[in-house]
Structure 1
């Protein structure tokens, strides 16, 4: 077999598999996704009165800008914000900037890393500062749920644990001047059960919950 025949066969094989796996297969998968799972394939976007407000798959900030001398404060070109106490907050984000859906990632630090220790301690302190004054009897580090102290694997998880939501419900009810029972009922309504009935833990859809609060 000559080198020329080998080259021709190699080029034909490359062309065939490029068309098959690089063009035809992605088109088929995309077509099936758009026909059978259109919402999921397009990011489960949520619109209110025709305006895009978020995605069911990506966490987002529910925050207010920080002002200094009457102007929004920026650090390294990023707007500085603080959590809006009227809304439930998602878990800490591991991306830069926070909740950056274009750069999902996790901090690859071990459990004994001082960086991990400091980050978790800072997240716990921020959680207590936001919710502690509203929680009956005061909020201590031992009562802070894990998902309020640590980031998720993707860094942009959109939901929180039921325990996390129950703690935040005291703040949201107080700030919005709503009965705690009303807020707890909404938490229960937007709690998602285990996948297939046994995988994972129940979680609360933060975006849908906050939208429901605004509708009140």
Structure 2
């Protein structure tokens, strides 16, 4: 890890972005670019509903909303959508607009929240939940050693890359890229296979060629 990376407090959301697509992460957190599409708008509305309002208590469970998180040890900061207190036991809940995914980006984001909460409270947090708006169901996530190690590894990897300030190369993947709101800014199809400069020059020179006149 570059020495300067140690002083960076990384947004927890950057871990989710990095695991989903390193180039997307750098566009957002290095280039400071953002664009919205239907998916991000729906997600923003869902988060606003989850984060809005004050804390409440239902069936003995107290729900704290939009909880600020931070860990100097981990170099992470962010906001948890909801932190539930189950008889004093801390239980983070992250809201997502879609459905459970094949990759582990959402799990890493939730685990990072739990690791921050552990440092803030001194408690060990064994599990939390991801609530998906499309299925209207919670998925319980166990913070086992494998997920904790993956989260720590992704945090270090993303922090080093962002500290270097470099934009990773474009790699087009139809399912991932078409869902990304930054598609038009990233242009992965063009940049992954850029047109040949030599071919372009040859065509340009040929178009400007002057035919020989009569002798």
Band the TM-score falls in, shorter-chain normalisation: under 0.3
TM (norm. structure 2) is 0.23
Higher RCO, 1 vs 2 (CA within 8 Å, ≥6 residues apart): 2
| TM-score when normalising by structure 1 | 0.23
From the two aligned structures, give the one with the greater strand fraction.
2
